[in-house]
Amino acid sequence: MGILEGKRILVTGVITDSSIAFHVARLCQEQGATVVLTGYGRLSLVERIAKRLPDAPPVLELDVTDDDHLASLADRIGEHVDGIDGVVHSIGFTPQDALGGNFLNTTWEDVATAMHTSTFSLKALSTAVLPLMRDSGGSIVAMDFDNSVSYPIYDWMGVAKSGLASTARYLARYLGEHDIRVNLVSAGPLRTMAARSIPGFDTLADSWPQRAPLGWDTGDPEPAARAVVALLSDWFPATTGEMVHVDGGFHSTGA
């Protein structure tokens, strides 16, 4: 019996089978969970990728910046499962002008887009599914990137991730009364589709394996996915508002 036996998990952010979210969904199913996916934009692509999972799950359209999508989400999920025990927030977007060393020149409009999609969306998603969780509790896990320091080229996405970490702490405070835990997994850089959209990503990624005490494989999302699954399980019943680093230990080292 797996550590998620009988649980119902909503996973956002599956785009390709190289994404962390895909491997989370796969491991969730292997550990006994029923999975529902969301996708946005190229929904047919997400549906094709979903068929590569052990059991092809339903795929729901979700734009986390669309109030109508959010308002109907609980009802649409309810067509497939009678509640939710866990949610995975693996959503982020930053316009190109907000990345790649353009920090001082980025407009508020681009910053606002980054913050809405990458930061506020965690609160928006959490409250949208709350009707499916408030009676039985559960776990919300969001994907982060270490934001205790600045990094080259990451720019306003780094600021958005700092906001995501703070949002998770406040959600942990306010959702605790519903027995809902809210935690973050901070993964090292991975060569996903999202990473390929960051100008100069190799500048950040190439130094990671050398600096991380345990080393780091930028092509292997499974360690991060395993941490997410562990936090979705009942093995962390009193942990909330926490950030778990899955980065080979890079965050703990100096120059």
Between CA 132 and CA 186 the distance in angstroms is 26
Does residue 35 have a pLDDT over 80?
yes
pLDDT-derived band at 28 (thresholds 50, 70, 90) equals very high
User: Annotated catalytic residue: which of 40, 51, 151, 154?
Assistant: 154
Query: Residue 228's pLDDT is what?
Result: 98
Flag whether 139 is in a domain: yes
Flag whether 2 is in a domain: no
Is 150 assigned a ligand-binding role in the annotation?
Answer: no
* pLDDT tens per residue, range 57-111: 999 999 999 999 999 999 999 999 999 999 999 999 999 999 999 999 999 999 9
Does residue 197 have a pLDDT over 70?
no
Classify residue 4 by burial, with Cβ atoms within 10 Å: 0-12, 13-18, 19+.
buried
* Known catalytic residue at 170: no
β 34-39/138-144 pair status: unpaired
Between CA 190 and CA 201 the distance in angstroms is 10
* Known catalytic residue at 161: yes
Between CA 137 and CA 235 the distance in angstroms is 14
Query: Residue 32's pLDDT is what?
Result: 98
Between CA 239 and CA 250 the distance in angstroms is 23
Is 9 assigned a ligand-binding role in the annotation?
Answer: no
Residue 255 CB neighbour total at 10 angstroms: 3
Query: Residue 217's pLDDT is what?
Result: 93
Amino acid found at 214: L
Flag whether 71 is in a domain: yes
Query: Residue 202's pLDDT is what?
Result: 76
Does residue 199 have a pLDDT over 80?
no
Domain that includes residue 219, residue range: 8-249
User: Annotated catalytic residue: which of 7, 51, 161, 170?
Assistant: 161
Does residue 177 have a pLDDT over 90?
yes
Between CA 224 and CA 210 the distance in angstroms is 19
DSSP letter at 189 equals P
- Which residue stretches of the chain are H helix? 20-30, 43-50, 67-78, 108-115, 121-129, 155-175, 193-196, 201-205, 208-211, 222-232
For residues 150 and 100, is the Cβ–Cβ distance under 8 A? Answer: no
Amino acid found at 109: E
Does residue 174 have a pLDDT over 80?
yes
- Closest-CA residue to 11 (of 93, 181, 125): 125
Residue 217 CB neighbour total at 10 angstroms: 15
Check residues 199 and 156 and name the one with the higher pLDDT: 156
Is 20 assigned a ligand-binding role in the annotation?
Answer: yes
pLDDT > 90: percent of the chain: 80
Does residue 7 have a pLDDT over 90?
yes
For residues 221 and 23, is the Cβ–Cβ distance under 8 A? Answer: yes
Q: What average pLDDT does range 222-234 have in this prediction? A: 98
DSSP letter at 57 equals -
Q: What average pLDDT does range 190-202 have in this prediction? A: 72
Flag whether 186 is in a domain: yes
Flag whether 255 is in a domain: no
pLDDT-derived band at 193 (thresholds 50, 70, 90) equals low
Amino acid found at 227: A
Mean pLDDT score across all residues of the chain? 94
Is 123 assigned a ligand-binding role in the annotation?
Answer: no
Query: Residue 135's pLDDT is what?
Result: 86
Between CA 38 and CA 62 the distance in angstroms is 6
Is 59 assigned a ligand-binding role in the annotation?
Answer: no
Query: Residue 41's pLDDT is what?
Result: 82
Flag whether 202 is in a domain: yes
Does residue 200 have a pLDDT over 70?
no
* pLDDT tens per residue, range 135-162: 899 999 999 998 888 988 899 999 999 9
Question: What's the CATH number where 207 sits?
Answer: 3.40.50.720
Q: How many structural domains compose the chain?
A: 1
Query: Residue 195's pLDDT is what?
Result: 65
